[in-house]
């Protein structure tokens, strides 16, 4: 296995890849009318990762790099779906590589806050904390991640209840806005 540190790109036969398009992210962005006018096949982000241990292996780790394209749905920045770990006490590291953005975190009481992401930023996602990343720059945002093999992804909470705040561009700058209930 190899990593190209300047981009986070992973190289090797064991690398797995996935992507999420606007169509895959139905219901995730606030402005449904704007989302419907955009091309469903447009890629919002790609993930490449290496899982040397099988999923669910206690004690194992996975390593990944995510690339989020620049863009907006209405005035909301392109972002990852977001999840909380199925094993809720599992934590994770994120590290900014390229571009600028925000790590959006929400705790169990639905308090949401952000941490700025930039090349060299390093983030610890605490237990029981939902997380997603938004690209607030004009270039692809690339970040690396390391998570326990048995963390699992629970997407239901985000799909059903969303985050309590969303990141919109206002006057050219990111602003965290409480979501309509």
Site string for Zn ion, 54-93 (x = CB under 5 A): --------------------------------------x-
Least distance in Å: CB of 154 to ligand M6P?
10
Q: At which residue do the structure tokens 């059903």 appear?
A: 160
Least distance in Å: CB of 109 to ligand M6P?
21
Closest by Cα among 82, 63, 62, 95 to 154: 82
Q: What is the rounded distance in angstroms from the CA atom of residue 40 to the CA atom of residue 36?
A: 8
Site string for Zn ion, 12-31 (x = CB under 5 A): --------------------
What is the DSSP track for 58-121? Answer: TT-EEEEEEEE---EETTEEPB---BEESSTT--EEEEEEES-EEEEEE-TT--EEEEEE-TT-
The footprint of ligand M6P on residues 16-75 (CB under 6 A) is 47, 64, 66
Q: From the list ligand M6P, Zn ion, none, which binds 146 (C-beta under 5 to 8 Å, kind-based)?
A: none
Q: From the list Zn ion, ligand M6P, none, which binds 47 (C-beta under 5 to 8 Å, kind-based)?
A: ligand M6P
Count, residues near ligand M6P per rule CB under 6 A: 12
Least distance in Å: CB of 177 to ligand M6P?
20
Beta strand pairing status for 43-50 and 61-68? Answer: antiparallel
Q: At which residue do the structure tokens 């938004």 appear?
A: 134
Site membership for ligand M6P, residue 142 (CB under 6 A) = no
């Amino acid at each position: 296995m190899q990593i190209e540190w300047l981009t986070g790109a992973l190289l090797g036969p064991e690398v797995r890849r996935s992507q999420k398009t606007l169509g895959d992210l139905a219901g995730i962005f606030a402005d449904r009318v704007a989302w419907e006018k955009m091309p469903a096949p447009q890629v919002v982000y790609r993930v490449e990762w290496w899982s040397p241990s099988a999923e669910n292996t206690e004690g194992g780790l996975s390593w990944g790099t995510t690339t989020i394209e620049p863009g907006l749905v209405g005035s909301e920045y392109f972002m990852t779906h977001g999840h909380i770990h199925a094993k809720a006490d599992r934590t994770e590291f994120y590290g900014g590589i390229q571009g600028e953005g925000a790590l959006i975190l929400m705790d169990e009481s639905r308090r949401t806050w952000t941490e700025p992401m930039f090349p060299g930023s390093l983030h610890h996602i605490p237990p029981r904390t939902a997380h997603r990343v938004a690209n607030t720059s004009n270039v692809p945002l690339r970040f690396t991640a390391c998570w326990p093999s048995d963390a699992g992804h629970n997407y239901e909470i985000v799909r059903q209840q969303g985050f309590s705040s969303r990141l919109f561009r206002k006057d050219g700058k990111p602003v965290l806005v409480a979501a309509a209930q």
